[in-house]
Structure 1
């Protein structure tokens, strides 16, 4: 098939590679414009742009993919279809009609669950046991188009959002390739999404990533894993400064004061609304991440030291 591929972050790379390895002609790769560096430093191309250039593919980085001039460029490619993975722009009707068969999106949930920007993070945060990937024909609604294919993936007890997304990117790459091929062969049968079971996955903000130590330990555990690696779960330290916190382990010990720090031979624990949790690593603002035990020994906080909002 003659295809267009639209994507931006690293999670889109397995899908791009799968289409190329599958013998398809990727005639154009569409990705977000290069990110501006801090304090006037050089700009940074997206992971998809870098991989596409390595593969010798033509790349476009429109600021607005729905502008008439870019729509005409896409139309001139005369692609059979387009595959989309985490591109980052809303695609308008004129662009969607610029390929022969449409645009197929790979979304990392079992739709209609967790429509939106952060399906993996929200699934972990909610305590779901199973998630997956879905392919669908893009229409004007947010992740509402007719489904072509789906795959499921178990959420493991210690999964961070990064862990789970890495696995789903691989599972999804095969699913997207198979869905586009089925569409091209005329055997795909897109079906409307169920009206039951709809949920929404808003992007996690910095405020969402603030750890609430007064919540039960299992909720704290899920919240931190959902925010790892991005946007990064964080808390305030006893001196009022902030720090990112890595995944924790529920200890099963007796309840203690939320946020209260304790050290023992195995490391550092923090109190929650139920059982204490054991810390893995911590990254105070402006410093590198370090083992929680090493941080505790260097910080020398007193016996009454607590984490939480100052």
Structure 2
């Protein structure tokens, strides 16, 4: 990994991913509206679950955790993109860029973990309906969630740990915000080793979580087959919301990986992997979860 000549001291990075955007204001307003909708919808879910004691159950705590993850995920990148497109502020400080990178990748890893643990919750609920509340208590759910956040932070800490010691040859990011690939391409080293290291971590996490979710649904299908028709409808209804959000996240992720390898522009695909799950997830749980949907309809009827 030989160094190139001309390393520089970087105090701020220049966001160059939108330099070829023809109508930045329109694109920025679209990002702003999507961001506001996603954050608002996730906050509504969180507030409903917090303030209604009847929803203080493992499943709703996991929905609340997913909403927190979605807010982190979309907030890690959106303000920077909005600032560049709408306000024309195309610089970000060195420290802020690394914080944004950490938050973005932490949101992506936690999205996988959150969906995996929600699949496990559905498996326990369907396999052991009478023992469910003794197996998965609120306390155990909170401890499990806390552990997953710590594990995710441990994995993501590898990203800044490998980048910070490296010298930089320029300060212009080719992408639309600070992620690992964008910062790595400003360094003076051969990036292949570092990209391979991170690719192994991401592949391991995505494959493990997706495989775990598939295994849980194999178990769910097995128990559904043994159930009566009425129970099958109830089980299908409880799993459909989770299947929708899993499909949105992993389809977007797999499309990003495949099309990027085929040479398709990465920026638009990366933005899609952030916005699609963060926007779809809260609306799915608002309209597919009976208790939350009932509360929303009740509020509209009163008004």
TM-score interval, smaller chain: under 0.3
What is the TM-score of this pair, normalised by structure 1?
0.23
Query: Which one has the largest radius of gyration?
Result: 1
Which fold has the larger relative contact order, with Cα–Cα distance below 8 Å and residues 6 or more apart in sequence?
A: 2
